[in-house]
Amino acid sequence: MTDPNDADDRSELQAAGPSSLRRNGLPQEFKDSWEPGPGYADTWGPYYSAQFPPTKVTPWINFKRMGSGVNVVRRHWDQREELRAAYEAEHGSDPENWPHRHPGIVIDAVQFVAHAACLGCQWIDQPGTSMAEPGWREASAAVARRHESSYGEFRGQPDQ
């Protein structure tokens, strides 16, 4: 028989069960991840939900999602709003009079991943396109155009 004190980390995690991790010898329970409140539904809230879907997380991951995650999402949303203002300056502020109801854009304000997105709705492509790939801007623009030409129906597919 083996001594339970000699167990490696893997068996400790297994012994702790699927709903917890051990950190510094103490179990950490998973909990529902934070989500933006309904007051953000017309701004960056849907971007957050797309980029950080609800799941069970440790308190530390939840803390990071509430801080750094919100900062990333808000920067994406701010770039979208900058691009929307430029589009409205050219085409007017009434989406019914725009040449396309779902104009596609590329959001690249945060390093490493570019996202196709829409000025007419709150869609943002997940997981995006790595900026390390050659042709990343064209690849993201192609996804944005596909959303635009589908009148907002295309929301990104695993086969894209």
29-55 tens-digit pLDDT = 899 999 999 999 999 999 999 999 999
Query: What percent of the chain has a predicted confidence (pLDDT) above 70?
Result: 81
60 assigned to some structural domain? yes
20 assigned to some structural domain? no
109: pLDDT confidence band, cut at 50, 70 and 90? very high
160 assigned to some structural domain? no
| Domain count along the chain | 1
The SS3 assignment for 113 reads: strand
pLDDT at residue 26 above 70? no
Contact 140, 134 (CB under 8 A): no
pLDDT at residue 15 above 50? no
56-92 tens-digit pLDDT = 999 999 999 999 999 999 999 999 999 999 999 999 9
Contact 136, 130 (CB under 8 A): yes
Q: Could you tell me which residues come within 8 angstroms of residue 67 by beta carbon, excluding any fewer than 6 positions away?
A: none
Task: Return d(Cα 72, Cα 126) in angstroms, integer.
Answer: 14
**What is the value of pTM for the model shown?**
0.79
Supply the pLDDT for residue 158: 47
80 assigned to some structural domain? yes
Give the domain range for residue 111.
28-149
3 assigned to some structural domain? no
